[in-house]
């Protein structure tokens, strides 16, 4: 990057990541937890890899689809009681808070604590050593701007910045 900028001193340069990363030390299988309480469910992890090597399919957010949507509040209570779960949201709450599409997220959305991840495990809980993302603790994303002064204070989300940044 330095060589490029040395060769093109008038160039504006923007570099960012798509997410932050943190080390995780504990994993929870939320579907096993719900089934132990008699609640049938399936999950759609936000992190998935066909080879199971990238983050071991473990992440900080899980979309939960309940077999009986009438059990939403009970399932939310069970999930919130788990020490690995930082927050649980109904579909309506998640749509409002995170600007999500209701048809794409399941009945519940759960977020992990900083040191925790969710995934399909061979047991309910498991010690874990993995670096991954997906919780609110990886929401801070660095951006490097060279060649232009940009006041990032008014931007809460990356898409706000990219929609409003005049690159002409």
CA 155, distance to chain mean position in Å, is 19
CA pair distance 60, 132, nearest whole angstrom? 8
Burial class of residue 98 (count of CB atoms within 10 Å of its CB; 0-12, 13-18, 19+): middle
Q: Is the pLDDT of residue 78 over 90?
A: yes
Domain layout of the chain by residue ranges? 1-18+141-168, 23-130
Q: Say what the pLDDT of residue 147 is.
A: 81
CATH superfamily of 23-130: Domain 2, Phosphonoacetate Hydrolase (3.30.1360.110)
Give the mean pLDDT of the chain.
83
Angle, CA of 2, 138 and 93, to the nearest 5°: 140
Task: Give 68's pLDDT tier (boundaries 50, 70, 90).
Answer: very high
CA pair distance 58, 109, nearest whole angstrom? 15
Q: Is the pLDDT of residue 151 over 80?
A: no
CB atoms inside a 10 Å sphere around CB 121: 18
Q: Is 150 helix (H, G, I), strand (E, B) or coil?
A: coil
Q: Is the pLDDT of residue 121 over 80?
A: yes
Per-residue tokens: 22: 């943190």
Q: Say what the pLDDT of residue 61 is.
A: 86
What number is the average pLDDT over the span 67-86? 97
Q: What is the pLDDT of residues 34-60, one digit of tens each?
A: 999 999 999 987 766 565 555 567 778
């Amino acid at each position: 990057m330095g060589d490029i900028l040395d060769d093109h001193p008038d160039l504006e340069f923007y570099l960012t990541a798509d997410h932050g990363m943190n080390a995780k030390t504990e994993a929870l299988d939320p579907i096993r937890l719900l089934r132990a309480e008699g609640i049938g469910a399936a999950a759609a992890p936000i992190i998935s890899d066909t080879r199971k090597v990238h983050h071991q399919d473990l992440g900080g957010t899980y979309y939960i689809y309940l077999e009986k949507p009438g059990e939403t509040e009970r399932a939310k209570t069970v999930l919130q009681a788990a020490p690995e779960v930082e927050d649980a949201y109904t579909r309506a709450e998640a749509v409002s808070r995170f600007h999500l599409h209701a048809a794409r997220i399941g009945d519940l959305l759960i977020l992990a604590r900083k040191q925790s991840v969710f995934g399909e495990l061979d047991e309910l809980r498991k010690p874990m050593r993995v670096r991954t993302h997906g919780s609110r603790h990886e929401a801070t994303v660095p951006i490097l701007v060279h060649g232009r002064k940009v006041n990032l204070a008014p931007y809460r989300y990356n898409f706000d910045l990219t929609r409003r940044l005049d690159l002409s």
